[in-house]
Amino acid sequence: MLLVIDIGNTNIVFGVYRKKRLIHSWRKVTGKKVILGTYTRDVLREFDLKKIRKEEICGIEISCVVPSLLPAFKRFCSYLFLINPSVVIPGKNTDVRILCDNPSEVGADRIVNAVAGYSKYGGPLIIIDFGTATTFDVINIKGEYMGGVIVPGMRISAEALFERAEKLPLVKSLRPDKVVGKNTAESIRAGLFFGTIGQIKEIISRIKKEIKISPKIILTGGHAELVKKEIKGAVIDPYLTLEGLRLIYEKTGH
């Protein structure tokens, strides 16, 4: 079995594959520190739910955009599984050609998504990942990573309003019933949601004009389900990153 771990700024997502099938996945809020005992108990509890024995894990692939946490996760993998994990390094240990000024600057999760997206859907693609930031990644017909767009996610936009404006409440990113809010919370929610939708549509439109071809649109990440009805023709793929980690592990010959 293969354990894949996607370490993001907001959440850490774990997945367990038996051959090519994802048999279990779960997420934890990203903390500033990795406490071996806490993660050990959490993983063993999740394994117990699905009757997975830790001895069955024969490989681990990690994607990480929080470099300060990576050494601790490597120690965690060695401690619990006696395995030295493989770590995705954009531009080095993936077979994706990155057409950017500095390939090492591209987030590992974005290249992982590109691998999975192109493998599953072909190209060209726009992959929109709703995480701490909302990212737009453009993959051409050859499977090359062309570049992308990064904007603040709905959650951090809501938190910024709450922190900077004394009278504004912190609201959850829920789909509002209407644009014109009748109270402050409704008004913020409408602004966050419909502002995000307008932003997505405008960015997609400009990308299409720039690359002069109509790509498939793939949505993944935390708010993908929330916006899917508003993005015409988009495909939802909630496990895209985990699938990419599996593919990279297999392609690198582990």
Active site residues: 109
Dig out the tokens for 125 from the structure.
Answer: 């693609």
d(CA 154, CA 128): 13
Residue type, 217: I
Q: What is the DSSP string of 193-221?
A: HHHHHHHHHHHHHHHHHHHTS--EEEEEE
Length of the chain in terms of residues written: 254
d(CA 90, CA 12): 19
Max Cα distance, the chain (Å): 57
Q: Can you tell me which residue has the tokens 């988009």?
A: 234
- Strand positions, DSSP E, 122-193: 125-130, 133-139, 145-152
- Alpha carbon of residue 206 to chain centroid: 23
DSSP lists the bridge partners of residue 11 as: 29
End-to-end CA distance of the chain: 12
Residue type, 108: A
d(CA 72, CA 120): 32
